Amino acid sequence: MRIKKSYCLDQLRDYSTLFSRSEVVRWFKSDLSSLDLKINRYDSKFISDDRTYLSYLKYVYRILESFYPNEYVYKNELINKWLIREIGSSDSVVFNEFRLGRAVADLAMFNGVSKAFEIKTTLDKDTRLNSQVKEYQKLFNEVYLIVPESKIENYQKLYPDVGLVVYQDASKEFRLEKLANNNPFIDVNALMGTLHTHEYISIVEQHYGCRPSFTDFSKFEVCKQLIEEIPQKPLNDLFISAMKKRNIFNVFSKTEKQFNQLFLSLNLSLDKQHKLLDNLRCNINN
C-alpha cells in the first residue's frame, strides 16, 4: 500500500506506539489486538487474506520514517546503516540504553574503545543534554551525538570534545561530521556503579593475579580501592573486556531491518526473533 503525502500528528503518535517493548511482549503471546485496533482505525484496506501483520508493520515504519522520525526510527536506521558495519568487521558489542549514574546512553559500543551515543531527534528537547554528556565522559572513551541535519548548527560548537553524526533527512543516511576526542580517563566511582559484582572482582583478579581477601560486606570497598590503583590504560582495557563478556546477542536481520532496534532492545536470540516474526506473518483477517 502506498503511503499518503501527509498524516495528522495524533495518527503518527499512535503509529509510533507499535514499536515498543510492551507491544513486542504481546506479539510473543500471539496477542495482535493492538495491531487490529490500528488497522481498523486507520487502514481498513489492509484487512485481506493475503496481507500479514508483518507487512503492515513495515508499512507503518515507512510512514514514521518519512513523517515522524522519532527515537526508534533514528536508532534503527543508525543500527542498519552504520553500527552493523562496525559489528561485522570487528569483535564489537552494542548495548541498547546503557545506564550510567542518572543518565542512560541511547546506545553504547565496545570494541577497541568504548563509545556512547546520544540521539537527538527533531522531536527532542535538550534540557538534560549537558548533564548527560558529563556523565558519559566519566566512563566512555568517546561520546557521540546523533543529530538531524536540520539541527547541526545547534551542536557544532557546544561540545568541542564530542563527536557528531548527522542524519541526512533527504537521503536517510548518516554522515560522520566530527570525530570525538579520545578520553582515556575512567572515573572509578562511575565504573563501580556500572559493573556487576562478579565483574569488578574479576577485574581485580586479572590485574593483580589473585583474588583479594574480603567478606560479603567489604568486597565492594576492597575491590574499589584496588581498582583505583590500576593505571588508566589497563583499567580501560579490562572494563571493555568485561562489557564484551556480557550476554549480548547482537543478532540483526538483513531482511526484516525495521525490527533490529527491537531485537537489540530486548536482546533477542535468533530463535526468539524467528518466533516473533512467525507470529507476525499470519494473515490479517478480521
Phi then psi for 110, rounded to 5 degrees?
-125, 115
Q: What is the pLDDT along the chain (286 residues), one digit of tens a residue?
A: 778 888 999 999 999 999 999 999 999 999 999 999 999 999 998 887 689 999 999 999 999 999 998 889 989 999 998 888 776 666 889 999 999 988 999 999 998 899 999 998 887 777 889 999 999 999 999 999 999 888 888 888 888 899 999 988 777 789 899 999 999 899 999 999 999 999 999 999 999 999 999 999 999 999 999 999 999 999 999 999 999 999 999 999 989 999 999 999 999 999 999 999 999 999 997 6
CA torsion through residues 16, 20, 24, 30, sign: negative
The CATH class that applies to domain 72-178 reads alpha beta
Which stretches does DSSP call E strand in 149-203? 163-168, 173-178
Strand 114-119 relative to strand 103-110, pairing: antiparallel
Name the residue ranges covered by the structural domains of the chain: 9-68+251-280, 72-178, 188-244
pTM across the whole model: 0.90
Q: Kindly give, in sequence order, each residue whose CB lies less than 8 Å from that of residue 186, ignoring residues fewer than 6 positions away.
A: 138, 139, 232, 235, 236, 239
